[in-house]
Amino acid sequence: MFDSLKLSDLPRKQSYVLRKPSTTRPTIWVVEENGLRAVVKDYSTNKFVFRNTVGRFLVWREGKAYKKMKGLRGVPNIYRVIDGLALAIEQVPGRDLKKVTREMQIPETFLSALKDLVNDLHGRGIAHCDLKKATNILMGKDGLPYIIDWGASISEKEFRFYPFNLIYKRFVLDDQMAVIKLKLRYTPHAVTPAENKRYKNRDKAEKHIRIIRDRLRSILQKLA
């Protein structure tokens, strides 16, 4: 699937640009081949230095995360990494949460499935690290949650030694906190006592870890 797709072919293919590139963001294409649709996150259109440093690095990291997540319901499949500069990912039919929340309340079933999904990805040893951004969570046409944009994610394995193991734990907590925040806002009755406690204690966690985490996050997010 999309095996022979070349970046240079994209403008001529059955495709359209979902989002134009900016200095630090890739072009997002939607391409159709044999009835299947892929989203292509493409850094090849960014400036030379950026695409060959940050672009390649992010594609490599995001590609790695997608491979670890393979087969997990709620994470689209990755078709291919193209020339180290772009990712071709299965298109999730649906809308992102930013758009969804403009039009409707988020139902409880969605948020409880999102909580399970976040637990599942942590079960695979990955923290997403950018779930507070509503455009990184999609609501599929099936009403279920999907998570995209893994460029800032980190793996438990890479962060297994002190003090990185503590930072990994903080990021896991941040992912969970993003879901709790959505629940507090849209389905407060469904927030469990444990979630409430976690939310209330969020500022009591060790200060030094938070400082390191915040620095790291700002680096990862600037990159992503």
Quickly count: other Cβ atoms within 10 Å of residue 163's Cβ: 12
Q: Which is nearer to ligand ATP, 69 or 138 (CB)?
A: 138
| Rounded Cα–Cα distance for residues 199 and 187 (Å) | 15
Site for ligand ATP (CB under 6 A): which residue of 18, 36, 104, 219? 18
- 218 lines the binding site for ligand ATP (CB under 6 A): no
| Rounded Cα–Cα distance for residues 189 and 214 (Å) | 31
The answer to whether the beta carbons of residues 44 and 83 sit under 8 Å apart is yes
Footprint of ligand ATP on 152-191 (CB under 6 A): none
For residue 63, give the nearest of 155, 150, 5 by alpha carbon: 150
Residue type, 42: D
Q: How far is the CB of 165 from ligand ATP (least distance, A)?
A: 27
What are the C-alpha distances in Å from 103 to residues 24, 97, 133, 146? 30, 10, 17, 18
- 28 lines the binding site for ligand ATP (CB under 6 A): yes
Q: How far is the CB of 106 from ligand ATP (least distance, A)?
A: 16
- 39 lines the binding site for ligand ATP (CB under 6 A): yes
- 148 lines the binding site for ligand ATP (CB under 6 A): yes
Footprint of ligand ATP on 65-104 (CB under 6 A): 76, 89-92, 96
What residue ranges bind Mg ion (CB under 5 A)?
A: 135-136, 149
